[in-house]
A and B are shown apart, each in its own frame.
Chain A
């Protein structure tokens, strides 16, 4: 039996785990059933009036976003053109899958969520996961029917980020608290201040570039140490979300001089 533990160090047991998970995963759905039922009841209990108001609000929002997107498309084109001038390549087009959270608690001292989409939907480990406000984390383990997502605030998680204001590169490490990230690798004279937005830098290859991660909320220079202590608050609502987006970023960058018709279309989305 100790053999099994040592065997797993080679991590060749993924297949066995997948097989076993087929028996165990129904339990996760079973456990999260009460929450789902309550939510659906709450949904069906909303009045016609409230629904109509919400519908109207959403339509307005959609209109605003649509107009913004029009502008965005033009900007994107321009960006590609400018990058082509700079002989730089540009990544775009991301496919998104909406996954719903299962209300399951696996390990209280780790920040790991379980969602209801697994390898059957093509989810694979190390995929970035986002919500409407920012980066949530990455897929940590994908099983046939569920997958486990490690949040950016997990103590074992680090994400390469960039200060949006001046492009300063660094790494944000999880603190173990749901509302805090730590930036341990910046010197005391770094150009960073409270309120700065941190976005993904795209280094490391896991996270696509340019998604908001966190806002710096405290910067303390420590004269007697090499690095300053900087903390940041994640933008994503890590503990209040039920719907997450799993992202497939296109691994092949658009060629230098893009054929505009092809790059325009984006990915054949599940949900865009």
Chain B
């Protein structure tokens, strides 16, 4: 059983690594502005459907990795991710029952919260003027939630069949 659990977590790890790769994908021009926060989406999915495996600590660790990956101030993604995963873990029983549309709304608020936090931290660092496009990933992230949901539920289904 424990071996199976390890394989389950290995799968989580793999999807998150993939999400990190997507996060720094070399998109050109305006497409780069639309690139959503894939890592957070994947983390939210796993925290909803595998809450006993993915906790706040994992979110914090992956947030820290994202910080270094994106060259941000150390700890800002860690903070945002762990806060949001905390909310997700609290509500995961209810959220799992929601239809996709309602889930999407929740995801929207999660992404918005994370972006607001990042914006706030950035402003603390040095008051910067940001374009409105800073908020675009929130919307694209919400729209790509069904995609993430579909792909990852396929991945987790695959695991269950294997068991």
Q: Which A residues fall within an 8 A CB radius of B?
A: 1-2, 4-5, 7-8, 13, 16-17, 20-21, 23-24, 27-28, 30-32, 35, 103-109, 112, 140-141, 148, 155-156
Contacts and interface: CB of A to CB of B under 8 A. Distances in A.
A103 B26 contact: yes
B3 interface: no
Interface in B65-100: 65, 67-76, 78-79, 82-83
Counting chain B residues whose Cβ lies within 8 A of the other chain, the interface size class is 35 or more
A35 B121 contact: no
B75 A4 contact: yes
Contacts of A112: 71
B18 to A, nearest CB: 10
A20 B26 contact: no
B82 A1 contact: yes
Contacts of A2: 79
A4 B134 contact: no
9 contacts: A1-B82, A1-B83, A5-B79, A13-B74, A17-B74, A28-B69, A141-B71, A148-B71, A155-B129
Interface string B108-135: 0000000000000100001011110110
Nearest to A32: B26
Given A5-B76, A30-B21, A141-B71, 16 more contacts: A1-B60, A1-B78, A4-B75, A4-B78, A8-B75, A20-B68, A23-B65, A24-B68, A28-B24, A103-B26, A104-B24, A105-B35, A108-B32, A109-B130, A155-B129, A156-B126
Contacts of A27: 17, 20-21, 24, 69
Given A2-B79, A4-B74, A105 B68 contact: no
B79 A105 contact: no
Contacts of A103: 26
Instruction: Please indicate which of the listed interface residues A24, A32, A155 has the most CB atoms of chain B within 10 Å of its own CB.
Output: A24
A21 B68 CA distance: 6
Contacts of B42: none
A108 B33 contact: yes
Nearest to B30: A108
A140 B131 CA distance: 23
Contacts of B74: 4, 8, 13, 16-17
Interface of B: 17, 20-21, 24-27, 32-33, 35, 60, 64-65, 67-76, 78-79, 82-83, 121, 126, 128-131, 133-134
Contacts of A31: 21, 24-26
Nearest to A23: B65
B71 A7 contact: no
B69 to A, nearest CB: 5
Contacts of B72: 107
Nearest to B61: A20
Contacts of B68: 17, 20-21, 24
Given A5-B121, A27-B17, A30-B21, A106 B70 contact: yes
Contacts of A13: 74
Contact of A5 (B17, B26, B75, B134): B75
Contacts of B25: 31, 105
Contacts of A1: 60, 75, 78-79, 82-83
Contacts of B130: 109
A107 B37 CA distance: 12
Nearest to A35: B26
A28 B78 CA distance: 20
